[in-house]
Structure 1
Amino acid sequence: MNLFTQMRGHVLDTLADMTAEGLLPAGLDTAAITVEPPRDAAHGDMATNAAMVLAKPAGQNPREIATELARRLATDPRIQTADVAGPGFINLRLSDRLWQGVVGDILSEGEGFGRSTMGQGKRVNVEYVSANPTGPLHVGHTRGAVFGDALASLLAYAGYDVTREYYINDGGAQVDVLARSVYLRYLEARGQDVAFVDGTYPGDYLIPVGQALAEVHGDDLVGKPESEWLEEIRDFATDAMMHLIREDLASLGVEMDVFFSEKSLYGTGRIEAALKALDDKGLIYEGVLEPPKGKTPEDWEPREQTLFRSTAHGDDVDRPVKKSDGGWTYFAPDIAYHYDKVERGFDMLIDVFGADHGGYVKRMKAAVSALSDGRVSLDIKLCQLVKLWKNGEPFKMSKRAGNFVTLRDVVEQVGPGVTRFHMLTRKNDAPLDFDFDKVLEQSKDNPVFYVQYAHARVASVLRKAAEAGIDVSDAALQAADLSGLTHEAELNVARKLAEWPRLVEIAARTNEPHRVAFYLYELASDFHSLWNRGNDEPALRFVQEGDSATSQAKIALAKAVAVVISAGLGILGVEAVDEMR
């Protein structure tokens, strides 16, 4: 139950009554009318902009509309007061009974409370990580993996049919470099001295790959020309790296539905088919691009290329899809890959890229818009860099990787749950500091500890109540009389709980799973505040000695907090613990 949607419906019904009575003209657009928490909680529980939205098209004074609307809204028993503020906003203060009802709804619906049908089963493809299969995942990939996985879970929770996808970049020159690097490790495994020249991968993670290759071939490949082993070793090494990457993802709790190979696009006619689809729309042509900004005629040579008219779909410049030598540009297989997604029938596409892919956003959106005739939307989320700290200093090296900190390094030090939560404590396009000492600190300043501690406290209350002979079964708590939950600290918790369904829909609509982490911290803060007040005010303690009925009502509120925290942590892929260790 989304209480804010419910109240918005009541506002719209009241406006319809005013229209029927001739107080407002017919045909007014009400789409922009909102009911949401006021900026200042002191002003009330909810606020609506209805009068402000309708004043101009209605040709009326906003305060006059607001005054009449507020008068009518105040007659609803669920609304204690409806006050007009400023030029025409209406602040609503709701009855205690409504907030008490939220607690009952949560206990009845369980973790279904907050689930939405907003997505209406629309098919969404979320592509994330998609790292080159040349080594283990590093900390930068970790942020994209967590963000993409949490976003996929959030969208599923909001009613979308979600496919998690990994695009294997196994069609480019970097995979040839991987094969040459593995060949060096193979020679090393056969007792030869080798030197890793610039451009090869020196990480220790390739040692077992070289040894495995040696077990298969013995000395058969020693001294052979590259043309005889490159393709075979490239496939062997790619398979080994993808096995390693899958294990990395599993350590973080990430499981993909689809692994799509870039290599499968080459030599199969799929790139040609995608470009023909664009050509049929008049969007492929032979032309010469203007020199890039900042270039002078001396260091730029105009040449005719095959171009995609991406400017017809919002890009800044048209983009080459074929080089002057006849080979494909990097953009061509990406067009074909997204054409495949469109052809698979997805309604929405989401790509999660690293910060260095910012220049790719407009061209990729233009391609999807052209290929789908605007039917399929593409949202590209860029994840900014992660800076690692330990003992107050930058943490940089991983000997096994060669020159970067791996995903596994991070997970092994702090655990998957802590890693995931902290990767979502900033919006994806903001830089993130990951301090190994602080993320393990047991304090309010550590968000994941603070949220998990709230859940553990509820579990503790349930154990103590049961030991005291109080029935805390689901049936008993659902049947509890909640009318005694009237203290402002208790109602504050209920108000925050009521925001959960709305928060889910906003986060899903904006593709921003970090909002869930922020909300959980705020809910935990309100709950801990109530708990701490109970230390000074015995009447606020959850277990009231000798009064089972009152205890059950208060414990019902605590249980509702645990239900929502568990649901939110589930979206983030973090465990809701029953005790802290």
Structure 2
Amino acid sequence: MNLFADIRGLVIVALDELVAEGVLPAGLAYDAVTVEPPRDAAHGDMATNAAMVLAKPAGRKPRDIAEALAEKLVADARVVLASVAGPGFINIDLAPDVWAGLVSAVLQDAEYGRSALGQGQKVNVEYVSANPTGPLHVGHTRGAVFGDALASLLEYAGHEVTREYYINDGGAQVDVLARSAYERYREALGHAPEIEEGLYPGDYLVPVGEALAAEVGDRWLDQPEAVWLAELRDFAIEKMMEMIREDLAALGVKMDVFFSEKSLYGTGLIEAAIESLRSKGLIYKGVLEPPKGKVPEDWEPREQTLFRSTEHGDDVDRPIMKSDGAWTYFAPDIAYHYDKISRGYDQLIDVFGADHGGYVKRMKAAVAALSDGRVPLDIKLTQLVKLYKNGEPFKMSKRAGNFVTLRDVVEAVGKDVTRFHMLTRKNDAPLDFDFDKVLEQSRDNPVFYVQYASARIHSVLRKAAELGVEHATLPRVEDDAELAVAKKLAEWPRLVEIAARGHEPHRIAFYLYDLASAFHALWNKGNDAAGLRFVQEGDRDATAAKILLPKAVSVVISAGLGILGVTPAEEMR
């Protein structure tokens, strides 16, 4: 059940009747017609812009259309009032039994809120994709939570989703990793490590060195780099990926695919991707203009192999091969997305840190060119996370060297708090993470406030069960506070589709906070008005009817928290 969609359907039927009667001309497009919650709850239960958006194409005054449409709407038993406001908006009030029916629908429909919006379209969501050179840090944490929640949201909205991690194991940084691990290998054999500038200093490589020493003994000790670099590189990458998988598991993230950049080299995949672009006339030899702003002293014009990315919305054409014949870093990125397209995805989503802003246009251009515009690419950038404790900037990591790890954060506040709080801001807005405030038990802490609502509901249901109360078939939804909760429940299916269309999982967190607020308001009102309490002492029938509303709230909170990857609380500790 989607009550907003149902009432929109009623509006469309009424418009068709007005067309049939000659009040409106035939051929009108209804795409822009919406039914949504009014900005001010005092104005009604729902509002439609139908008259406003159809006035111009219909050649009629919006208020004339609105009055004719309102007359049609009130003929439906679900509508008790349709009033014209302002220049032509229609505010709609629904019958009380509609809201009781809505609560029943939430409880009876196991799929309430789920959507067929995605129609089974295959979507690839790539996120985290950190270099395998160390543990995940707090910035990766935000990207991991956002990407995972987005994948769950899209699945909930009917898409077929693949969660993917791109392992950056083909660049110079993994050679640095191998050299850093070698020093820890020497340390494991009793020698002082020589951590020179440019190597990774974190203690997280100590276990790698110890594992290597246990496997090869002193065979590589004092040997030249050429003897051990290739093997140690693979060994260290494997150990780092084991650590990263464990970090992700601690956060509740499980990937479907780990794709290795190294697999693109020597396999013809890069060459195939570039040839695909060449066949479309998008690869050429040329000389780029000097970079804007201050020109580096060592810059000189030189001929390169370029991708004509400006034909697909980029600012400048991009080099894909250096003058010495080596691929640029952009070439394997093109090949990787070419591989994604070849796997038959209908949509690609990449989740990156804020420092990848310059990457957006060129990658979108590449995907548009490779897929002939068939496969859209959405690149979501996650802004920085600032850590605080007692209101002061906070640093806590030792083993990582100079950054706070994902594991540090999860061990400090728990997986559920970490995940929820990471979604309390839009992905492209900076996020403050205060270790004290995220654990604070107050309304100002959305994590606590939503979980407190869940715990309160479970306490009500436990008490009702202890009294031997059996569920009624018809909910009791009468007071304004009860109606406010039911109306918020009605928004859930609509909200899911809005969030899924916009790739905005933070909307789920915002909605859950609003739903929890409506529930707590009803609870608090019941403290003063005994008739609003869910458990009515000595009246099993009344209790049976009243507990259906909080039970419906619990269903939706559980569904929303499930999308966020958070376990609903059954009691507060």
| TM class, shorter-length | over 0.9
Judge which range, 336-345 or 29-38, deviates more.
Answer: 29-38
Q: Hey, what does 1:535 align to over in structure 2?
A: 527
Q: CA contact under 8 A between 1:309 and 1:319: conserved in structure 2?
A: yes
Letter aligned with residue 52 of structure 1: M
1:226-272 C-alpha deviation (Å, 9 max, x unpaired): 11111111000000000000000000110000000000001111000
**In 1, Cα distance between equivalents of 2:520 and 2:296:** 66
Q: CA contact under 8 A between 1:253 and 1:573: conserved in structure 2?
A: yes
**In 2, Cα distance between equivalents of 1:270 and 1:168:** 16
SS in 2 for 1:165: strand
Q: CA contact under 8 A between 1:181 and 1:201: conserved in structure 2?
A: yes
Alignment match of 1:557 (pick from 540, 546, 549): 549
| TM-aligned CA deviation for residue 222 of structure 1 | 1.5
| TM-aligned CA deviation for residue 390 of structure 1 | 1.2
Matches within 5 A, 1:141-220: 141-220=140-219
Matches within 5 A, 1:177-326: 177-296=176-295, 300-326=299-325
Tell me if 1:524 matches 2:516: yes
Q: CA contact under 8 A between 1:516 and 1:568: conserved in structure 2?
A: yes
Q: CA contact under 8 A between 1:127 and 1:166: conserved in structure 2?
A: yes
Letter aligned with residue 50 of structure 1: A
TM-score (norm 2): 0.99
1:32-63 C-alpha deviation (Å, 9 max, x unpaired): 11111111111111111111111111111111
Letter aligned with residue 306 of structure 1: T
Judge which range, 495-504 or 388-397, deviates more.
Answer: 388-397
**In 2, Cα distance between equivalents of 1:210 and 1:486:** 68
Letter aligned with residue 82 of structure 2: A
| TM-aligned CA deviation for residue 373 of structure 1 | 0.7
1:301-337 C-alpha deviation (Å, 9 max, x unpaired): 1111111111111111111111111111111000000
Q: Hey, what does 2:60 align to over in structure 1?
A: 60
| TM-aligned CA deviation for residue 296 of structure 1 | 4.1
**In 2, Cα distance between equivalents of 1:363 and 1:98:** 51
Q: Hey, what does 2:18 align to over in structure 1?
A: 18
Q: Hey, what does 2:485 align to over in structure 1?
A: 493
**In 2, Cα distance between equivalents of 1:167 and 1:287:** 31
SS in 1 for 2:29: coil
**In 1, Cα distance between equivalents of 2:537 and 2:237:** 65
1:123-172 C-alpha deviation (Å, 9 max, x unpaired): 00000000000000000000000000011111101100000000000001
Q: Hey, what does 1:29 align to over in structure 2?
A: 29
Q: CA contact under 8 A between 1:398 and 1:404: conserved in structure 2?
A: yes
| TM-aligned CA deviation for residue 469 of structure 1 | 2.8
SS in 1 for 2:485: helix
Letter aligned with residue 511 of structure 1: H
| TM-aligned CA deviation for residue 298 of structure 1 | 5.9
RMSD of equivalent CA atoms: 1.1
Alignment match of 2:538 (pick from 540, 546, 557): 546
Q: CA contact under 8 A between 1:397 and 1:403: conserved in structure 2?
A: no
Letter aligned with residue 258 of structure 2: F
Alignment match of 2:503 (pick from 487, 507, 511): 511
Tell me if 1:43 matches 2:35: no
Q: Hey, what does 2:378 align to over in structure 1?
A: 379
SS in 1 for 2:109: helix
| TM-aligned CA deviation for residue 548 of structure 1 | 2.1
**In 2, Cα distance between equivalents of 1:60 and 1:382:** 44
1:181-214 C-alpha deviation (Å, 9 max, x unpaired): 0011111112222321111001000011011111
Q: Hey, what does 1:74 align to over in structure 2?
A: 74
**In 1, Cα distance between equivalents of 2:165 and 2:262:** 13
Identity across matched positions, percent: 74
**In 2, Cα distance between equivalents of 1:185 and 1:298:** 38
Letter aligned with residue 248 of structure 1: D
Distance 1:529 1:297, change over 3 A: closer
Q: 5+ residue gaps in structure 2?
A: none
Letter aligned with residue 490 of structure 2: A
Q: Hey, what does 2:390 align to over in structure 1?
A: 391
| TM-aligned CA deviation for residue 98 of structure 1 | 1.0
1:364-399 C-alpha deviation (Å, 9 max, x unpaired): 111111111111111110000001111332112411
SS in 2 for 1:388: strand
Q: Hey, what does 2:106 align to over in structure 1?
A: 106
**In 1, Cα distance between equivalents of 2:192 and 2:463:** 67
| TM-aligned CA deviation for residue 549 of structure 1 | 2.2
**In 2, Cα distance between equivalents of 1:297 and 1:449:** 52
1:268-319 C-alpha deviation (Å, 9 max, x unpaired): 1100000001111111111111111113496531111111111111111111
Letter aligned with residue 266 of structure 1: Y
TM-score (norm 1): 0.97
1:529-552 C-alpha deviation (Å, 9 max, x unpaired): 000000100110001123222211
Q: CA contact under 8 A between 1:129 and 1:353: conserved in structure 2?
A: yes
Distance 1:114 1:297, change over 3 A: closer
Judge which range, 395-404 or 408-417, deviates more.
Answer: 395-404
Q: Hey, what does 2:335 align to over in structure 1?
A: 336
**In 2, Cα distance between equivalents of 1:447 and 1:70:** 39
SS in 2 for 1:293: coil
| TM-aligned CA deviation for residue 176 of structure 1 | 0.5
Letter aligned with residue 323 of structure 1: K
Q: CA contact under 8 A between 2:396 and 2:408: conserved in structure 1?
A: no
